[in-house]
Amino acid sequence: MCGIVGYTGADEAQGILIEGLTRLEYRGYDSAGVAIEQDGALDVICRKGKVSGLAHTLAHFDFTGTCGIGHTRWATHGRPSEANAHPHTSCAGDIAVVHNGIIENFAELREELIGRGHVFKSDTDTEVAAHLVEEAYADTGDLQSAVVHAASRLIGAYGLAVVCAHEPGVIVVTRKDSPIVVGRGARGSYVASDIIAMIDAARDVVVLADGQVARLTPEGVAFFDEAGNPLDPPVTHVDWDVDVAEKGGYPDFMLKEIHEQPRVIRDTLAGRLSAGALEIDELDLSPEELDLIDRVYVIACGTSYHAGLIAKNLIEGWARIPCEVEVASEFRYRNPIITPTTLVVAVSQSGETADTLAAIRDARVRGAKVFGITNVVGSPVARESDGVIYTKANKEIAVASTKSFLGQVVSLTLLAMLLAQAKGKLKTSQIRLLFRELADTAEQVERILADDAAVEEAALACKDATSALFIGRGMGAAVSYEGALKLKEISYLHAEAYAAGEMKHGPIALIDEGFPVIAIATKSPVYDKVVSNLQESKARGAMVVAIATEGDEDIRAHADHVIYIPKVRDAFSAITASVPLQLFARAIAVARGCDVDQPRNLAKSVTVE
Ligand code: M6R
């Protein structure tokens, strides 16, 4: 969702802010703006639409100031517009604020501030912060204490970066439930809501904790608690390749990230098998404690939820532990049965999804052990869980998750094996065999990626449809849900997924001449059942696209298009079958002229409820 950048140093801020905002575009936004401090005043420029539009406008001004803040906004309070874009300013225009998150008590604060004579220029919740800082600054004449005082009045989530015309070169930042990272580079000090915005300039960063305050100047960064006591927070070194933010010759990030998946599988598995036994030390639970677990909840949203559906089959199948998979926004508002022997597994690529975080907190209050599975080191999900598995996907830029999904599926597969190992349900020899086959999927995915001709052909046949149905059984059902979501997200083609056995109970009514039915029809214990569903679909005129196992020539009789994938054990079929569906969704989106990496209305991290 929204993104924050800030810079103070030896160089002109304008270009650095635009570059940082461009790096944050992947998160999804509808407007952008900057505030640059120059000659004892703040120049604030905002534009609706893309960062390139803002850059175009800024080119006419050519500000030379060396301190500034910038923002990409994804509208929550107030429609996307120039007036609602950040930075927001005080009445006098001498204080500018950018904000990520939601200020829940903004309506009361706004009324209170208007009562004291403040004039509001936007419909946003954020603007109250600018006026609160203004009032506190009038009392103290100190930006840092003014920001702390203003933050103490806010209920909700916030990452805040504030500049003041009377304190040249100073940026004050603080946060609660919304990420802020601060870094020091050779040419100045940087702040952002996401490391990627400053990765070229600063690789040793501090991930601010809730309530901490950072004061950035051209000379360096000082950290404080809310009471103003100095802090010395730990520094994290970021070792991603800089090219994580580049397309590396691919036409879009999504395709690049799809092609990174064999590497993700290998990296996620590296070092996990030692002397024939699985080890996930980061989980910080002894085999005895793992053995006590008698119920598992996987909680997540969107694609991460689909990874959970796949895991359910494995956790129940191998470890024989009852496993429920729930969307976090439901879990957090009901009264789930949780005991001290319940394990809650929270899955989140970004590690900052608001509903998933709330569900983690709720589960821990109720006494559950919580494991996080996330892609982002130091993210709120990682920090707030009892143990964490990192998915090793590296930064994912395209809004639609692909490589992080595969990383989640592989991590959850390891967790299922670990639970089965602890419970004595899988012998060492079985674990070794499974691990080897799991590792082999990296090469199998490479083979799928090497030849996408059948996918392209099927995509061309389906691109003009208005709706599509994805079906499968068992693992195939879980994969279908993800396939349909991918297609919806990036091509805006309506798609639904069903467990194929449900066809006769309703969705079959949709099928008429040429209606696309995409089926996961790989060799599995339910293969024949899926084939029956294909026959029923074909009999009603459907255009069937089948994802099938190499060597299965019979399937051609039931499908218009067949996409073959290598033969794998059913437990690992979700890994291989998901890949052609990612390519399929992308190919349709490209054919329909859609923006593959930044689909409309979507944000990469959903940090509000
Ligand atoms: O960062 P998270 O994994 O917690 O995000 C959850 C969903 O918002 C996310 O998976 C979303 O569905 C993606 N757009 C999927 O492509």
Residue in 332, 347, 350, 412 to alter for ligand 1 test, most ligand atoms within 8 A of Cβ: 350
Residue ranges of the chain whose pLDDT lies below 70: 1, 240-245
Sign of CA dihedral 441, 446, 450, 454: positive
Q: What is the pLDDT of residue 164?
A: 98
Q: Is the CB of 605 under 6 A from ligand 1?
A: yes
Mutate to test the pocket of ligand 1, among 254, 309, 349 (most ligand atoms within 8 A of CB): 349
- Name which residue sits closest to atom 11 of ligand 1, judged by CA: 302
Using the mean position of ligand 1's atoms as its centre, give its distance from the Cα of residue 387 in Å.
Answer: 21
Comparing CA positions, the residue from 143, 407, 54 lying closest to residue 258 is 407
271 and 363 both lie in a single domain: yes
Q: Tell whether 446 and 457 lie within a shared domain.
A: no
Q: How far apart are CA 118 and CA 349, in angstroms?
A: 41
Q: In this structure, are 263 and 212 located in the same domain?
A: no
Final residue of a domain: which of 401, 432, 450?
450
How would you classify the pairing of strands 220-224 and 230-231?
antiparallel
CA 483 from chain centre, in angstroms, equals 17
Asked whether the beta carbons of 546 and 559 are under 8 A apart, the reply is yes
Residue 486 lies in a domain: yes
Q: How far is the CA of 355 from the centre of ligand 1 (A)?
A: 11
Q: How much is the pLDDT for 242?
A: 62
2, 323, 462, 594: which is the annotated catalytic residue?
2
Q: Note whether 303 and 418 are same-domain residues.
A: yes
**pLDDT per residue over 48-69, tens digit each?**
989 999 999 999 887 999 999 9
Rounded Cα–Cα distance for residues 134 and 140 (Å): 10
Which residue among 1, 304, 597 has the greatest number of ligand 1 atoms within 8 angstroms of its CB, and so is best to mutate?
A: 304
State residue 244's pLDDT score: 67
Residue ending a domain, among 239, 262, 289, is 239
Shared domain for 358 and 463, answered yes or no, is no
Q: How far apart are CA 281 and CA 288, in angstroms?
A: 14
For 338-383, write each residue's pLDDT tens digit: 998 999 999 999 998 989 999 999 999 998 999 999 998 878 898 8
Nearest CA to ligand 1 atom 2: 348
**pLDDT value at position 504?**
87
Q: Which atom of ligand 1 is nearest to the CA of 300?
A: 4
Residue 183 lies in a domain: yes
Helix (H) or strand (E) holding 300: strand 295-300
For residues 291 and 422, the answer to whether their CB atoms sit within 8 Å is yes
Q: Is 2 a catalytic residue?
A: yes
Atom in ligand 1 nearest the alpha carbon of residue 606: 8
Residue nearest to atom 9 of ligand 1 (CA): 302
Within-domain flag for 346: yes
98-136 confidence digits (pLDDT tens) = 999 889 899 999 999 999 999 999 999 999 999 999 999
- pLDDT of 80 reads 84
Task: For the chain, state the CA radius of gyration.
Answer: 25
Q: Is residue 246 part of a domain?
A: no
Q: Tell me, using a 6 A CB cutoff, whether residue 489 lines ligand 1.
A: yes
Whether residues 422 and 464 share a domain: the answer is no
Range of the domain at 235: 3-239
Which of 450, 473, 504 is where one domain is finished?
450
Query: Cα dist. 329→353, 362, 467 in Å?
Result: 10, 12, 27
Distance 400 CA to ligand 1 centre (A): 7
Q: pTM for this structure?
A: 0.77
* Residue the block writes with tokens 């991460």: 304
383 located within any domain: yes
Tell me, yes or no, whether 482 and 576 share the same domain: yes
Q: What is the pLDDT of residue 536?
A: 93
Do 522 and 505 have their domain in common? yes
Q: Is the CB of 353 under 6 A from ligand 1?
A: yes
596 assigned to some structural domain: no
- 385 C-beta closer than 6 A to ligand 1: no
**244 located within any domain:** no
Q: Is residue 120 part of a domain?
A: yes
Co-location of 329 and 187 in the same domain? no
The reply to whether ligand 1 has any atom less than 6 angstroms from the CB of 303 is yes
Residue 129, both tokens: 């912060």
Number of domains in the chain: 3
312 a catalytic residue: no
Q: Is 193 in the pocket of ligand 1 (CB under 6 A)?
A: no
Q: What are phi and psi of 377, to 5 degrees?
A: -65, 130
Distance 227 CA to ligand 1 centre (A): 36
405 and 459, same domain (yes or no) = no
Q: Using a 6 Å cutoff on CB, does residue 484 contact ligand 1?
A: no
Do 429 and 466 lie in one domain? The reply is: no
Q: Which two tokens stand for residue 259?
A: 């092609």
CATH number at residue 75: 3.60.20.10
Q: Indicate whether 219 and 269 sit together in one domain.
A: no
Ligand 1 probe mutation, 26, 27, 353, 391, most atoms within 8 A of CB: 353
Residue in this structure with the two tokens 């279908």, named with its chain if needed: 480
- What's 274's domain CATH number? 3.40.50.10490
